[in-house]
């Protein structure tokens, strides 16, 4: 038991010695990776902007009916998933593309749209991403404009109304510069540690009497000291 603890302690000391020996790599490589991530995020990756709009689902097409039963609420919540699929369908998106004269296909537009229910309620959240914040707003608002009539025509039940139209947001949602830098720094640390151990594995020279004892299993009977000559 004592021997195992001694070997574990020795291994830990060896690891710390290797990391200390190559401390420059542990500093330089992570910094280089972090700076590279910063430059890529700032100057290479195109920023993406997001616009949000929300709709509410009504179980009845008559929005003037103020009496809402539990069955109507349950039906409206179930319609959310159905309406979410319709909102991303080619029928809706092709109409949006035509109305806004967008230079993209419905498949390309679908990739930049997210439609989901909000916390199992009757509310539908629409998120649109685009490299132009104004275009993102226009797409989101156009979806909320054309979708109600198409939904009623297809489903022939229920209706949707706009809760909140999309508004201009000039703060990009991606890339996340801070997150990219943090990830790059961690990757740099891992690379530097692995590189340090790789250097040690490829180094077959003996640098101390402990190396002679450990790898050759020989007893050291003498050491020739290194003496610096003075001019």
Same domain, 115 and 199: no
Any domain includes 170: no
Question: Does residue 226 sit within a domain?
Answer: no
| Model pLDDT for residues 46-76, shown as the tens digit of each residue | 999 999 999 988 765 554 544 445 555 566 6
Query: Between residues 167 and 158, which one has the greater pLDDT?
Result: 167
Please tell me which residue, 137 or 197, carries the higher pLDDT value. 137
Mean pLDDT computed over 8-26: 80
pLDDT at 72: 53
For the ranges 6-20, 24-38, 131-145, 207-221, the lowest mean pLDDT is seen at 207-221
Average pLDDT of the chain?
82
Does residue 68 form part of some domain?
Answer: yes
Q: Could you tell me the CATH number of the domain that includes residue 145?
A: 3.30.70.1130
| Dist. CA 22–CA 15, nearest whole Å | 11
> How confident is the model over 34-52, as a mean pLDDT?
94
Give yes or no: residues 68 and 159 share one domain: yes
Q: List the beta strands (DSSP E) in the chain.
A: 49-58, 113-117, 123-130, 159-164
Q: Does the residue 116 lie in any domain?
A: yes
Give CB contacts under 8 A, 24+ apart, made by 20-24: 21/196, 22/192, 22/195, 22/196, 22/199
What does residue 163 show for φ and ψ, rounded to 5 degrees? -90, -55
Dump pLDDT digits (tens) for 167-196. Answer: 999 899 999 999 999 999 999 999 999 999
What domain range includes position 188?
Answer: 2-43+175-216
């Amino acid at each position: 038991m004592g021997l195992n603890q001694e070997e574990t302690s020795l291994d830990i000391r060896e690891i710390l010695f290797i990391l200390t020996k190559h401390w420059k790599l542990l500093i330089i490589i992570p910094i280089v990776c972090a700076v590279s991530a910063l430059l890529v995020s700032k100057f290479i990756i195109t920023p993406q902007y997001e616009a949000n709009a929300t709709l509410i689902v009504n179980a009845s097409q008559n929005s003037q009916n103020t009496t809402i039963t539990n069955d109507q609420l349950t039906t409206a919540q179930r319609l959310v998933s159905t309406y979410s699929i319709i909102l991303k369908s080619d029928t809706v998106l092709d109409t949006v593309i035509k109305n806004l004269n967008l230079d993209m296909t419905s498949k390309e537009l679908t990739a930049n749209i997210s439609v989901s229910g909000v916390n199992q309620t009757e509310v539908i959240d629409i998120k649109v991403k685009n490299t132009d914040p104004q275009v993102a707003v226009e797409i989101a608002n156009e979806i909320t404009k054309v979708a109600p009539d198409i939904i009623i025509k297809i489903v022939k039940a229920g209706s949707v109304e706009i809760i909140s139209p999309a508004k201009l947001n000039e703060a990009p949602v991606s890339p996340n510069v801070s997150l990219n830098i943090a990830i790059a720094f961690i990757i740099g640390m891992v690379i530097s540690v692995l590189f340090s151990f790789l250097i040690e594995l490829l180094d077959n020279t003996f640098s101390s009497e402990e190396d002679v004892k450990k790898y050759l299993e020989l007893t050291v009977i003498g050491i020739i000291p290194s003496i610096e000559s003075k001019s």
